[in-house]
Chains A and B, each alone.
Chain A
Amino acid sequence: SQQGEEDPQALSIQEGENATMNCSYKTSINNLQWYRQNSGRGLVHLILIRSNEREKHSGRLRVTLDTSKKSSSLLITASRAADTASYFCASEYNNDMRFGAGTRLTVKP
């Protein structure tokens, strides 16, 4: 069964705008990871944040984690058409990783 929920289910923005996706999970975690999936392809790892971290940056990506609320957010700044994809959060505990249902992001040129 899936562990978490992403919000929103779908997001459509213009190129250059920022995109924020949220994720909630249900149990304790060692870390939370975000993945991207282009249509019909496998998933690509974007960023990992450990349970004792609150914020992490990687290029145009910013991830936050609030373990008290069991939630995380992914911010993509200055979005590009190539960022169009589905984004999944995955909560990991003792090498057991559970994915959410994903947010479908569309970036219009």
Chain B
Amino acid sequence: EAEVAQSPRYKITEKSQAVAFWCDPISGHATLYWYRQILGQGPELLVQFQDESVVDDSQLPKDRFSAERLKGVDSTLKIQPAELGDSAMYLCASSSPGQASYEQYFGPGTRLTVT
């Protein structure tokens, strides 16, 4: 069964350093999402792509976060510089708008710890 791939699974970094996460969605899924999940809370959308275009980045802290999906396939989320409050799980998900359901398929996530 096709899955969303994410790497790394765990990342520890010092504050003020740069960090990057990678996501490879399910083949053929045009829509890709990055979420941040703080421990004990639900996922919050950071950015949504339709193919290579950003369709929603209203909750992305643009002074330090950036995201790209250059060829409309895999995607990278970057934080520079990292802050202590960025410690969280970063989840990537994909969906196919051709489906009526808009069900999202999630990757295993990257657990970020900023020290």
Contacts and interface: CB of A to CB of B under 8 A. Distances in A.
Contacts of B42: 2, 88, 90, 99-102
Given A45-B103, A97-B104, A1 B41 contact: no
A45 B105 contact: yes
Interface in A89-108: 90, 92, 95-102
Contacts, number: 56
A48 interface: yes
Q: Is the interface of A mostly helix, strand, loop or mixed?
A: strand
Contacts of B44: 1-2, 99
A2 B107 CA distance: 20
Interface string A53-66: 00000000000000
A45 B56 CA distance: 22
A20 B4 CA distance: 30
A81 B89 CA distance: 25
A22 interface: no
Contacts of A24: none
B54 to A, nearest CB: 14
Given A42-B4, A95-B97, A2 B41 contact: yes
Interface of A: 1-2, 30-31, 33, 35, 40-45, 48, 88, 90, 92, 95-102
Interface of B: 4, 31, 40-45, 48, 56, 59, 89, 91, 93, 97, 101-109, 111
Given A33-B103, A48-B101, A95-B102, 14 more contacts: A1-B44, A2-B44, A42-B93, A42-B107, A43-B43, A43-B106, A45-B104, A92-B102, A95-B31, A99-B43, A99-B44, A101-B40, A101-B41, A101-B42
19 contacts: A2-B41, A2-B42, A40-B89, A42-B108, A43-B93, A45-B103, A45-B104, A45-B105, A88-B42, A95-B48, A95-B97, A95-B102, A96-B45, A97-B104, A98-B45, A99-B44, A100-B42, A101-B42, A102-B41
